[in-house]
């Protein structure tokens, strides 16, 4: 993404290591283990991270709302975090603080964890590499976050501003119309314009290949699909075809 290339990945919101491997072998760039809307134990998250490593795809975790969640997933080997409902500068600073070691942040230091290969890596080299190579993405998905967008993305350590179109449309009052409402679309386009102007990597959720193209044209460089939605759509397509068989 630093070179200008687009990174494409997929949310996975249920425990299925083989599915993670399948996605990994597909050629996508990253997987977002969704612990906001999914239901995982930390050992399950660790197993999904291991499945990512097996296929060479980057493991990112969308964390839940527990204050210890960032620490726990990074210690287990996540190479990035996505944090929902980041609405202001203070919240963004808290995210970075929990993701980075001293002096940049307050992440607790332990060399006995999986991320440090259970003591194989330690000291300044490990700590500096972890800080440098941990992706930090924050979700912009409420009117408050939209209002505070400029100050959120200026926080040092924020790598990606991820626009959540569904949450944003609901929080703006367009439950029925969804992200396609002109006012919602206008807000999103303005966020992407601001992001481009400030040099921040912008991301969002694509429902299918055509939607992915639309986000890319808008300037997204970090685009995620939803595995469950793609699987459901494909089976519906097969079911429809089956119903039309002679």
Q: How many CA atoms lie within 13 A of 22 on its CB side?
A: 7
Alpha carbon separation from 1 to 12, 28, 53 (Å, rounded): 21, 13, 20
Length of the chain, in residues: 246
User: Going by C-beta distance under 8 Å and a sequence separation of 6 or more, which residues neighbour residue 241?
Assistant: none
Cβ atoms of 31 and 58 within 8 Å: the answer is yes
CA distance 201 to 147: 18
Which residues, in sequence order, are CB contacts of 97 under 8 Å at separation 6+? 105, 106, 107
| Distance in angstroms (rounded) separating the CA atoms of residues 52 and 59 | 6
Who contacts 92 (Cβ-Cβ below 8 Å, separation ≥6)? Answer: 86, 138, 151, 152, 153, 155, 158
Q: What is the Cα–Cα distance from 162 to 149, expressed in whole angstroms?
A: 11
Secondary structure of residue 77 in the 3-state scheme: coil
Is residue 222 within 8 Å of residue 7, measured between CB atoms?
Answer: yes
Look up the CATH number of domain 7-136+202-243: 3.20.20.60
Q: Give the number of other CB atoms < 10 A from CB of residue 98.
A: 21
- Backbone dihedral region for residue 223 (phi beyond 0: left; psi -120 to 50: alpha; all else: beta): beta
C-alpha to C-alpha distances, 106 to 64, 94, 182, nearest whole angstrom? 19, 9, 41
pTM of this prediction?
A: 0.94
Instruction: Please report, in tens digits, the pLDDT of each residue of the chain (246 residues total).
Output: 445 689 999 999 999 999 999 999 999 999 999 999 998 999 999 999 999 999 999 999 999 999 999 999 999 999 999 999 999 999 999 999 999 999 999 999 999 999 999 999 999 999 999 999 999 999 999 999 999 999 999 999 999 999 999 999 999 999 999 999 999 999 999 999 999 999 999 999 999 999 999 999 999 999 999 999 999 999 999 999 999 888
């Amino acid at each position: 993404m630093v070179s200008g290339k687009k990174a494409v990945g997929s949310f996975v919101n249920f425990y299925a290591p083989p599915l993670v491997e399948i996605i990994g072998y597909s050629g996508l760039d990253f997987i977002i283990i969704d612990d906001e809307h999914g239901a995982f134990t930390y050992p399950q998250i660790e197993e999904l991270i291991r499945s990512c490593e097996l296929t060479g795809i980057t493991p990112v975790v969308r964390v839940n709302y527990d204050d210890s969640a960032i620490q726990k997933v990074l210690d287990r080997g996540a190479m990035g975090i996505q944090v929902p409902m980041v609405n202001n500068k203070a919240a963004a600073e808290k995210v970075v603080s929990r993701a980075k070691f001293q002096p940049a942040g307050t992440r607790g230091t332990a060399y006995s964890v999986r991320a440090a290969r259970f003591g194989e890596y330690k000291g300044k080299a490990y700590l500096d590499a972890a800080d440098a190579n941990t992706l930090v993405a924050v979700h912009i998905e409420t009117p408050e976050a939209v209002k505070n967008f400029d100050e959120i993305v200026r926080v040092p350590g924020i790598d990606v501003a991820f626009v959540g179109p569904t949450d944003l449309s609901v929080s703006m009052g367009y439950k029925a119309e969804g992200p396609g409402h002109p006012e919602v679309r206008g807000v999103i386009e303005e966020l992407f314009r601001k992001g481009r102007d400030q040099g921040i990597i912008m991301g969002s959720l694509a429902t299918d290949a055509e939607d992915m193209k639309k986000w890319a044209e808008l300037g997204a460089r970090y685009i995620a699909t939803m595995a469950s939605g793609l699987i459901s759509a494909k089976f519906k397509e097969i079911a429809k075809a089956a119903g039309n068989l002679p």
